Structure 1
Amino acid sequence: MPNTALNRPPDGKPRRILFTGGGSAGHVSVNLALIPLLQSRGWEALYMGSKSGIEKQLIDRLADVEYYGISTGKLRRYADLQNAKDPFRVAKGVIQAYRLIRRLKPDVVFSKGGFVSVPVVLGAWMNRVPVIIHESDLTPGLANRIANPFASKVCVTFGETAAHIKGNKAVHVGPIVRSELLRGSAVKGLQWSKLLPGKPVVLIMGGSLGSKRINEAVRRNLPALTKTYQLIHLCGKGELDDGCNGVRGYRQYEYVHDELPDLVACSELVISRAGSNSIFEFLALRKPMLLIPLSKSASRGDQILNAESFRNAGYCEVLQEEELTDEAFLAALGRLHADREAIRARMGRNDNGDPAGAIAALIDAASRN
């Protein structure tokens, strides 16, 4: 490890922040919310992630953000032949990140987590660049647990998460909501999706990769669903079903970008997985949710904890994936629709202050140390 910290850019040049995080849209969305805020405060934003992951696709859409791809490995919890190769990919990524960070000389590294972030955090620590981590879920993910010893602060969304962070590093900031979502237009959403006003719209999201189980449940029940609702179904890459295109009141898309704020705005209810970033955004927008969290067989169980926390607060209905029968699905959505006004009232009493501003203040402080 070097004996001296990196030389900082000369006075008068903008401070420089390197973002990292990826593997799923949830590991990028907080960065997408923070980048324009920090740019407006005079920061130069850079991004480091995998060479071809979803984080590159999302960041490439932004202006004035240079992207740097490195080698990464996936932190799997199951047996796979790739597990033998991944430590070498991670080691290669650490070397690449170390060299890039030494050349780029960022003042701070901000990590949203995901397996791609581990080499970047290690490369920053080796260069003595302060690292701030963000943890969205109620319990820390594997990548953030690995990175925690090398961070100066860990920003948490749930207050309960602080108990899982070692070293008195946790700072409860609350959820980060992308500002563009707050500017959606219901009228534009209906016009873009060619749906009609007056009949409630349900937005269905299975995450950036989609959800086969949710997609199948929705399509099996289209006749019953479209009697009461209009449906906007974000089904994931490669998951479109051409046989459903003629169903009245049903619109399906693999993924949307610029249209998402308007589609959320025109929706009365949401059916979703229980990733923390998404559900806190729906909370901020007062959208009652039917949450179908990833099962423990397909995850570490973080979405189950997120969903239970929201159910206890009265913001949603929860249906476990193992209980996802047609009857249970329609009944849970019916209860959500019947209770929607009471749920919105409870959501309206939630006040999270200014989480993005709190993180920006931590980043400012770290850059001066």
Structure 2
Amino acid sequence: MAKRKKILMTGGHITPAIAVADALKKTNTQIDIVFAGRDTSIEGSNSQSEEARLVNQRGFRFVSIQAGRITRAFTLLTAVGIFRIPFGFIAAFGICLSERPDVIVSFGGYVALPVVIAGWMLAIPSITHEQTLSPGLANRIIGLFAKKICVSFPQTVKDFPSDKTVLTGLPLRESMFHPPKNSPFPLGNKPLIIVTGGSTGAVTLNRLVFPIVENLTTYYSIIHQTGRLDLQNAPDVPNYFATAYLDEPAYAWAIGHADLVVGRSGANTVGEVAVLGKVALFVPLPWSGGNEQYENARYLETVGTSQVLNQKNLTPGKLLGAIEGIFRDKQTYDKKAVEISREFPRDGAVRVADQVMAILSHA
């Protein structure tokens, strides 16, 4: 009987990691998958992280690693993060030695960096996936040690060594292509807007949307993922459904039926919009690393499927005007979105899984 193989997954983008893990388990029964990541949401917090919650929900094993990092704005928590950097490498060595994985699969970020380097020093091969259009520092360093680098965008191939870089597209969870048939939301049949600030919501985005909800619901239905902190401030009006969090089936239904997506422009949101052929209004997070959210969103604006709004000068009135402008020219946006979607692989999770299995076959 063939020896079971073990895969150690780690990194900052959990939903594509989950998508790849699902793809691996679907076709390969003789593998075990373990995730290494942060067990708390932010530095100094006691609340469970999104990655820990999703991994546990999927039934995969999760091990905690408290890796340090250097942030752009120096605070007391930054000092704690810097202090933890060497301990992160020690913890990474401990995880690699105790788990003895056959391959490490990285999804970038400061947590993945010490794990990949520790694996390299222990002769454990690694593969990494870059979700964003413009790679961050951590993934550029990880790319030096990885045997294979997978990227979401064609333009990103040039940022890594050509002999080990492959375009796979963004791994999306299978549910994004097979949403529930029946709506989980008590809304009418008006054109649907989904507002999302990512998995934890975005307070700034909420403050822009709340004042214009009554104007919008005259013509549109709205699903608004506010995050926990702001749900109590959401207005109570017809055709508007506010929730702290959208679980996977509900989110799949919402984005699948959305006529317009309004939100931040993290790699996953932009990738989903592109692959699913959706139209979007993006408000990039101003302080995202390497300005990656702006770069992600700007690409879709350039090809004519989306608009990018600068948070600094944005008001509720300007956001309302932008939404109305999109719908006035909706047919043109829809046509471009469908055209562009054909350029993005829909089987990114399977493509990355195939690359992982190719490395495993020689491990």
TM-score using structure 1 length? 0.88
Question: Which residue, 137, 140, 143 being the options, matches 2:138?
Answer: 143
Q: What's the offset of the Cα at 1:318? A: 1.8
Residue in 2 that maps onto 1:262: 253
8 Å contact kept, 1:232–1:251: yes
Residue in 2 that maps onto 1:195: 187
Three-state SS of the structure 1 residue aligned to 2:229 is coil
Structural mapping, 1:110-259, within 5 Å: 110-166=105-161, 168-185=163-180, 188-189=182-183, 192-197=184-189, 199-242=190-233, 244=235, 246-258=236-248, 259=250
Q: Which amino acid aligns with 1:367?
A: L
Structural mapping, 1:73-84, within 5 Å: 73-84=68-79
Question: Which residue, 23, 28, 35 being the options, matches 2:21?
Answer: 35
Q: Quick one: distance in 1 between partners of 2:103 and 2:191?
A: 45
| 1:352 is the counterpart of 2:338 | no
Q: What's the offset of the Cα at 1:232? A: 0.7
Question: Which residue, 56, 60, 79 being the options, matches 1:60?
Answer: 56
Residues 351, 72 of structure 1: CA spacing in aligned structure 2 closer, same or farther, 3 A cutoff? same
Residue in 2 that maps onto 1:326: 316
8 Å contact kept, 1:204–1:231: yes
After TM superposition, the structure 1 stretch with the greater mean CA deviation from structure 2, 328-337 or 86-95, is 86-95
Three-state SS of the structure 1 residue aligned to 2:299 is helix
Q: What's the offset of the Cα at 1:329? A: 1.0
Q: Which amino acid aligns with 1:56?
A: A
8 Å contact kept, 2:221–2:240: yes
Q: What's the offset of the Cα at 1:332? A: 1.3
| 1:340 is the counterpart of 2:330 | yes
Q: Quick one: distance in 2 between partners of 1:110 and 1:172?
A: 16
> RMSD in angstroms over aligned alpha carbons?
2.0
Q: What's the offset of the Cα at 1:208? A: 2.1
Q: What's the offset of the Cα at 1:34? A: 0.7
Q: Quick one: distance in 2 between partners of 1:128 and 1:299?
A: 30
8 Å contact kept, 2:101–2:124: yes
Residue in 2 that maps onto 1:367: 360
1:167-199 deviation line (CA, Å, top 9, x unaligned): 7543222222211011113x522xx221112x1
Q: Which amino acid aligns with 1:251?
A: F
| 1:100 is the counterpart of 2:88 | no
1:242-274 deviation line (CA, Å, top 9, x unaligned): 461x21211111112132112223322110111
Q: What's the offset of the Cα at 1:209? A: 2.8
Percent of pairs identical after alignment? 29
Residue in 2 that maps onto 1:8: none
TM-score using structure 2 length? 0.89
Unpaired runs of 5+ in structure 1? 1-10
Residues 266, 347 of structure 1: CA spacing in aligned structure 2 closer, same or farther, 3 A cutoff? closer
8 Å contact kept, 1:15–1:44: yes
Which structure carries more relative contact order (alpha carbon 8 Å, separation 6+)? 2
Q: Which amino acid aligns with 2:358?
A: A
Question: Which residue, 9, 13, 24 being the options, matches 1:19?
Answer: 9
Residues 146, 237 of structure 1: CA spacing in aligned structure 2 closer, same or farther, 3 A cutoff? farther
Q: Quick one: distance in 1 between partners of 2:233 and 2:307?
A: 30
Three-state SS of the structure 2 residue aligned to 1:176 is coil
8 Å contact kept, 1:17–1:46: yes
1:92-145 deviation line (CA, Å, top 9, x unaligned): 222222122223221111111122212211221122111111111111123213
Q: Quick one: distance in 1 between partners of 2:360 and 2:300?
A: 35
Three-state SS of the structure 2 residue aligned to 1:125 is helix
Q: What's the offset of the Cα at 1:166? A: 5.0
Q: What's the offset of the Cα at 1:216? A: 0.7
1:214-241 deviation line (CA, Å, top 9, x unaligned): 1111111122111111111001231213
Q: Quick one: distance in 1 between partners of 2:350 and 2:214?
A: 46
Three-state SS of the structure 2 residue aligned to 1:193 is coil
Structural mapping, 1:5-16, within 5 Å: 12-16=2-6
* Aligned length in residues: 348
Q: Quick one: distance in 1 between partners of 2:133 and 2:273?
A: 17
